[in-house]
């Protein structure tokens, strides 16, 4: 996602005008602020795409502080030819809930302000798969969702019982979700639902009720053109900084195994009811349960990939695919250490073992335990520079070249604890390199296979919702 400007301008800033485009012919320039099209305010890229579909556009521009009216003519199917600096021209819509499981409330003090931003923005849900509760919408925003038919949306449901959902969201009143889901479906908008599972809160009978009531909103049951096509079930994640918050229990091995058994039984029911497994467990359940990850067919068309469900399986599939292209030997010896977190460590080690079958290649894996956040945080997306430095320095078998997954860095190149790659490289005194999160990207970076565009899948390989939120 593009970074949001620190000072929102309530307009889109033109970063590029395509040569020969309708926008260029109309005289639009780089740096112009697009404020409205045909009398409708343009606050984000979705507004722009929706309102610029017409063949004649009356565009209000702000140029160096002066209003300018521009007329653009184009074909209905033609893009006007503008790119913008940011996807949002106004502030991110924030969350006023106080969810009992909220990761933001479990962070240490004195981190960057941006790390404490709780978004509940339907636009980021549509564009990037961020989960929203639909509890912080104004009437105008709700009407816009319906008008622009922003489908699919990714919605944090957690429980369909209004009283229980209200408690989970930290609200003082019951909070219904089914009426909103039904109105969205009536307007041909699909909802991919999420349940953050908190033991003792929304499991047992409550979970059974939630799954059954969401399945009843599937298009195969209602006959509508939209509905609830899938549900993600994610275990609550807790850090060591959980202070003065509602008491929650950790998800332990036996509990995770029982949950896997429960959902398998529900899957068989849903297969008969809607022709799909419908409900999927996040990868973390199998890690905690110490059980094998399901096969590729289990995930069908990966409807909940935005929630990190099936990413480990895709990693394994990518590893199998790229393994067929690896050489038998390399002329120039390669020695490298791969840094990863606890959850993905087993599949990363499997791929490292395959690389070590190549003559003149020596690869090992340094597994970084998350001491910074502590608790049960064990994903690559939440590794910090402090933990990486401390544990790589203590890794006696570390090679001179070290690869880090890009997922532990923000777009600005900073780690969560505000250090840069240069800071970490200087502390380690290593050739520190970053690489994408798939086996193919690693093999390309190491010069073992030739490059090329990725084929299918997601670039969010080993992730869970808490990482996306940061």
On the question of pLDDT at 280 being above 60, the answer is yes
User: Are residue 119 and residue 160 in the same domain, yes or no?
Assistant: yes
Q: Which residue has the tokens 């049951």?
A: 221
The 10 Å CB-count burial string (b at 16+, else e) for 354-391 is: bbeebeebebbbbbbebebbeebbbbbbbbbbbbbbbb
Dist CA 164 CA 373 (whole Å): 28
User: Are residue 333 and residue 432 in the same domain, yes or no?
Assistant: yes
Dist CA 259 CA 289 (whole Å): 9
CATH number of the domain enclosing 294 = 3.20.20
- Asked if the structure places residue 59 within a domain, the reply is yes
- For residue 405, the Cα-to-chain-centroid distance in whole angstroms is 16
For residue 240, what pLDDT is reported?
87
User: Are residue 135 and residue 227 in the same domain, yes or no?
Assistant: yes
Structure tokens belonging to residue 155: 């919605």
Q: Are 276 and 243 in contact (CB under 8 A)?
A: no
Per-residue pLDDT tens digits for 295-353: 999 999 999 998 889 999 999 999 999 999 999 999 999 999 999 999 999 999 999 99
CATH number of the domain enclosing 406 = 3.40.50
- Asked if the structure places residue 96 within a domain, the reply is no
Per-residue pLDDT tens digits for 94-139: 888 889 988 877 877 766 655 656 788 899 899 988 999 999 999 9
What's the whole-number mean pLDDT along residues 453-468?
A: 36
Dist CA 151 CA 226 (whole Å): 9
Q: Are 155 and 192 in contact (CB under 8 A)?
A: yes
Beta-carbon contacts of residue 290 (< 8 Å; ≥ 6 apart): 253
- Domains in the chain: how many in total? 3
- Asked if the structure places residue 2 within a domain, the reply is no
User: Are residue 388 and residue 282 in the same domain, yes or no?
Assistant: no
Per-residue pLDDT tens digits for 145-191: 999 999 999 999 999 999 999 999 999 899 999 999 999 999 999 99
Dist CA 212 CA 266 (whole Å): 9
Q: Which residue has the tokens 């899938």?
A: 230
Mean pLDDT of the chain: 91
User: Are residue 260 and residue 323 in the same domain, yes or no?
Assistant: no
Order of strands, edge to edge, in the sheet holding 401-405? 359-368, 329-341, 401-405, 431-435
User: Are residue 252 and residue 213 in the same domain, yes or no?
Assistant: yes
For residue 460, what pLDDT is reported?
33
Q: Which of 1-10, 20-29, 195-204, 409-418 has the lowest mean pLDDT?
A: 1-10
The vertex-351 CA angle with 350 and 352, nearest 5°, equals 90
User: Are residue 262 and residue 320 in the same domain, yes or no?
Assistant: no
pTM of this prediction exceeds 0.75: yes
- Asked if the structure places residue 94 within a domain, the reply is no
In 216-363, where does DSSP find H-type helix? 219-222, 253-274, 283-289, 311-323, 345-355
CATH number of the domain enclosing 50 = 2.30.42.10
For residue 2, what pLDDT is reported?
44
What's the whole-number mean pLDDT along residues 32-44?
A: 96
On the question of pLDDT at 282 being above 70, the answer is yes
User: Are residue 264 and residue 216 in the same domain, yes or no?
Assistant: yes
Dist CA 405 CA 419 (whole Å): 15
- Single out the residue of 259, 188, 237, 242 nearest to residue 376, CA to CA: 237
């Amino acid at each position: 996602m593009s970074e949001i400007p620190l000072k929102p301008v309530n307009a889109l800033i033109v970063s590029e005008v395509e040569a020969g485009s309708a926008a260029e012919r109309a005289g639009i320039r780089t740096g112009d602020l697009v404020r409205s099209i045909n009398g409708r305010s343009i606050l984000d890229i979705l507004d722009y795409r929706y309102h610029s579909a017409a063949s004649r556009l009356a565009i209000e521009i702000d140029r160096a502080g002066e209003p300018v009216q521009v007329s653009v003519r184009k074909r209905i199917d033609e893009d006007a030819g503008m790119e913008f600096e940011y996807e949002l021209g106004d502030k991110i819509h924030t969350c006023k809930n106080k969810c009992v499981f909220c990761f933001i409330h479990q962070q240490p003090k004195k981190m960057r302000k941006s790390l404490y931003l709780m978004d509940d923005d339907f636009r980021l849900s549509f564009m990037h798969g961020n989960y929203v509760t639909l509890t912080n919408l104004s009437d105008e925003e709700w009407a816009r969702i319906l008008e622009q038919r922003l489908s699919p949306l990714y919605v944090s449901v957690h429980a369909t019982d209004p009283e229980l959902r209200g408690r989970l969201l930290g609200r003082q009143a019951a909070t219904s979700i089914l009426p909103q889901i039904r109105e969205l479906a009536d307007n041909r908008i699909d909802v991919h639902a999420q349940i953050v599972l908190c033991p003792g809160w929304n499991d047992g009978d409550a979970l059974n009720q939630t799954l059954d009531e969401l399945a009843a909103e599937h298009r195969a049951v209602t006959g509508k053109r939209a509905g609830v096509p899938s549900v993600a079930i994610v275990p609550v994640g807790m850090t060591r900084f959980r202070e003065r918050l509602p008491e929650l229990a950790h998800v332990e091995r036996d509990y995770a195994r029982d949950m896997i058994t429960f959902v398998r039984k529900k899957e068989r029911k849903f297969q008969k009811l809607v022709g799909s497994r419908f409900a999927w467990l996040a990868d973390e359940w199998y890690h905690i349960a110490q059980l094998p990850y399901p096969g590729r067919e289990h995930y069908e068309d990966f409807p909940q990939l935005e929630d990190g469900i099936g990413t480990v399986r895709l990693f394994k599939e990518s590893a199998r695919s790229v393994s067929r292209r690896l050489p038998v030997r390399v002329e120039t010896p390669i020695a490298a250490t791969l840094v990863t977190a606890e959850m993905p460590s087993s599949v990363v080690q499997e791929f490292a073992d395959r690389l070590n079958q190549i003559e003149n290649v020596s690869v090992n894996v340094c597994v970084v335990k998350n001491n910074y956040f502590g608790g049960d945080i064990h994903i690559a997306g939440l590794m910090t520079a402090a933990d990486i430095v401390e544990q790589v320095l203590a890794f006696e078998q570390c090679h001179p070249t070290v690869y880090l997954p890009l997922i532990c860095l923000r777009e600005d190149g900073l780690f969560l604890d505000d250090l840069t790659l240069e800071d970490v490289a200087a502390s380690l005194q290593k050739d520190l390199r970053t690489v994408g999160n798939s086996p193919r990207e690693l093999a390309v970076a190491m010069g073992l296979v030739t490059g090329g565009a990725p084929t299918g899948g997601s670039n969010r390989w080993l992730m869970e919702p808490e990482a996306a939120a940061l």
